[in-house]
């Protein structure tokens, strides 16, 4: 089944120094852009993370310090990446919880204003887990009846993710071939900040999703406990979370 697209959809996968979206960095990014007419364009970049790659990470994705010592930094390719992604929705495997928050962090560090709020996100893993609850390799075997070779290489995982989504649409009649539907279906919570620290409640109000103020309106907390803002801004939270929190604070002050 070909995807029914209103905007180009870019499937992407990151290989990184680790799984902490605040402190870890990208070492490889692969992107498969699917145009509205079905035309495909694949790009891959090796990235110098400007930090040592832990051995346990290298043993998973096969990328070592020597492999990226002469590669460009994320900041050097950030504007090219932003241009490639402009006007596109995004798709990935576990992308809502990891790849998108980490990519947002890298763009902020590179001082490139890439607006994530204007696009839809289709997380193929969430669809898979709601339907079958397995890994990407198992999904590829189950839906595409093929073994996933070179698993944990960004390019192989990216292409496999695209093929799995098309096969999911073929298999499940209840899935609509529409990115709006797929984005909503592949989202567990309506997150405000990608990392899930701030989410929308059923009344479309931003509330904290952790800690002592879980479920409480962000604006209410900022009014009653103004020191909480400073604690979060100085804490080990993603830059994008801090940006969202600051925007809510500024909006409240202006209102």
Tell me the pLDDT tens digit for each residue of 176-197: 999 999 998 998 778 899 899 9
Tell me, what's the pLDDT at 133?
Answer: 66
Q: Which residues of the chain have pLDDT under 70?
A: 133
User: Residues 3, 9: contact at Cβ < 8 Å?
Assistant: yes
Tell me, what's the pLDDT at 129?
Answer: 87
Q: Which of 135, 148, 75, 159 is nearest to 109 (CA)?
A: 75
Residue 249, H or E segment: helix 239-254
User: Residues 238, 218: contact at Cβ < 8 Å?
Assistant: no
Residue with tokens 């070492």: 27
* Distance in angstroms (rounded) separating the CA atoms of residues 91 and 216: 31
């Amino acid at each position: 089944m070909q995807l029914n697209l209103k905007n180009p959809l870019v499937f992407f996968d990151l290989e990184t120094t680790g799984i902490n979206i605040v402190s870890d960095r990208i070492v490889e990014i692969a992107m498969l852009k699917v145009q509205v007419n079905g035309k495909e364009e694949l790009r891959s970049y090796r990235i110098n993370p400007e930090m040592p790659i832990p051995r346990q990470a290298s043993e998973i994705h096969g990328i070592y310090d020597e492999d990226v010592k002469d590669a460009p930094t994320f900041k050097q390719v950030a504007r090219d990446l932003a241009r490639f992604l402009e006007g596109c929705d995004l798709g990935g495997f576990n992308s809502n919880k990891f790849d998108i928050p980490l990519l947002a962090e890298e763009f902020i560090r590179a001082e490139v204003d890439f607006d994530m709020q204007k696009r839809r996100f289709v997380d193929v893993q969430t669809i898979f887990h709601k339907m079958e609850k397995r890994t990407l390799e198992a999904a590829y075997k189950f839906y595409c009846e093929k073994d996933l070779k070179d698993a944990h290489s960004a390019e192989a995982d990216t292409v496999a993710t695209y093929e799995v989504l098309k096969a999911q649409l073929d298999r499940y009649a209840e899935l609509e071939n529409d990115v709006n539907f797929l984005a909503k279906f592949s989202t567990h919570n309506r997150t405000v900040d990608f990392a899930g620290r701030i989410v929308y409640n059923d009344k479309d109000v931003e509330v904290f999703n952790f800690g002592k103020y879980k479920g409480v309106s962000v604006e209410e907390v900022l009014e009653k406990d103004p020191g909480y803002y400073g604690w979060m801004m100085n804490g080990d939270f993603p830059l994008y979370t801090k940006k969202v929190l600051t925007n809510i604070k500024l909006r409240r002050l202006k209102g």
